[in-house]
Every structure is written in structure tokens, then in C-alpha cells.
């Protein structure tokens, strides 16, 4: 029977994963539309599972800053890091430009790779999430749009590598609604 083999392949290319509580090969739903209070899984296993004892300290920790005003480098002027803000941080499987619906160069309407975790920052913009080792894409979310501005040489969007037993430090930024960023 080919169904158990074909469904995960279709799911991987379509951004669909099994609905929460349903076995692989059952009803598939877009990963970005799954309820976030339920574990988000894919055919490769449960990425929301608590890390094992050997990697209990692996994951991502960081701060989300809001940027505004002049961010251009200049002699004798320190670049302001911005101020930490409350934000939603969405961690997806490693995502390339072909796996998103783009609104503009830094904003995305839909991410087609599976959502691994979504966390809220504290009032200073800090967050921490435990994850299994691997490479992920980290986006901030505002309303219905996702934001990320970094790319690697393979056009992966905002890639972050999590090593076994290590917390990877990241800094995320968002643009201010009130002030121009240049």
C-alpha cells in the first residue's frame, strides 16, 4: 500500500501536516492553521516533545527589538539596538523563499513549512524555547503577517541552528509602526 509513503511526501511539499490527534495519512491541515495549544507534529516526529535529558538545555533564547529612525552605519555613531517589546515569535522548520507567500521583501502572509513552536516575549522582548537540535526559521508575527529580514546563502529565511545541549542566542527585530527605519 503506497498511501503511508505518498501522504508524507505530499505533506512535505504542500506545507500540510496531520491534524492534531489524527494519525499520519489522515486529514491534513496547513501547519500554520493548527491550534497552537496543541502539539504541532509532522511526519518526521513530534518536534514539540520536551527535549531528552541529554539535550534539555538546547533551544533558542533571544530578544525582540523594535527598530525606528536612522539605522545606517556612520563614523563615530553607535547603532542603537532598539528597545525590547512584547511580540509573538514563531519558529518553523527551516524555510526557503519558495515555501512562503511573500507580501514584500520582509513580510509574509503564509509560511508553508510546519510550525514548530510559537512563544510570546516578556515586556522586555525576551524569550526562550527548548527545541531538539536542528535548523529552524525564526519569524516575528504581527496581526496576520510574519516578519523576517535575514537570509543565508541558500535563501533560507532567518535560519537558526540549535546544537545539542546549547541555547542559541538570537536577536530579532521588527519595524516600528510610527517611525521610519532607514
The lowest-confidence range among 15-29, 44-58, 74-88, 115-129 is 15-29
In terms of domains, do 163 and 88 share one? yes
In terms of domains, do 63 and 152 share one? yes
Q: What percent of the chain has pLDDT over 90?
A: 47
Cα–Cα distance for residue pair 126/63, rounded to 1 Å: 4
In terms of domains, do 121 and 152 share one? yes
In terms of domains, do 164 and 112 share one? yes
Range of the domain at 26: 3-46
Asked if the structure places residue 182 within a domain, the reply is: no
Overall pTM surpassing 0.75 (yes/no): no
In terms of domains, do 24 and 106 share one? no
Report, as an integer, the average pLDDT of 50-55: 45
Residue 46 has pLDDT above 80, yes or no: no
The rounded Cα 80 to chain-centroid distance in angstroms is 25
Q: Which residues, at least 6 apart from 166, have a Cβ–Cβ distance to it below 8 Å?
A: 57, 58
Asked if the structure places residue 145 within a domain, the reply is: yes
Residue 82's pLDDT band (boundaries 50, 70, 90)? confident
Amino acid at each position: 500500500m503506497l498511501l503511508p509513503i505518498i501522504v508524507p511526501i505530499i505533506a512535505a511539499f504542500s506545507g500540510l501536516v496531520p491534524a492534531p490527534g489524527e494519525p499520519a495519512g489522515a486529514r491534513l491541515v496547513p501547519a500554520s492553521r493548527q491550534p497552537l495549544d496543541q502539539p504541532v507534529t509532522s511526519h518526521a516526529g513530534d518536534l514539540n516533545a520536551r527535549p531528552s535529558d541529554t539535550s534539555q538545555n538546547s533551544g533558542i533564547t533571544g530578544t525582540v527589538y523594535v527598530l525606528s529612525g536612522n539605522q545606517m552605519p556612520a563614523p563615530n555613531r553607535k547603532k542603537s539596538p532598539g528597545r525590547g517589546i512584547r511580540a509573538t515569535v514563531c519558529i518553523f522548520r527551516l524555510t526557503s523563499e519558495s515555501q512562503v507567500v511573500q507580501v514584500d521583501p520582509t513580510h509574509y502572509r503564509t509560511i508553508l513549512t510546519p510550525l514548530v513552536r510559537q512563544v510570546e516575549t516578556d515586556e522586555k522582548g525576551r524569550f526562550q524555547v527548548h527545541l531538539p537540535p536542528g535548523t529552524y526559521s525564526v519569524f516575528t508575527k504581527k496581526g496576520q503577517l510574519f516578519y523576517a529580514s535575514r537570509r543565508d546563502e541558500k535563501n533560507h529565511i532567518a535560519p537558526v541552528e540549535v546544537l545539542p545541549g546549547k541555547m542559541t542566542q538570537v536577536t530579532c527585530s521588527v519595524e516600528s509602526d510610527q517611525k521610519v527605519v532607514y
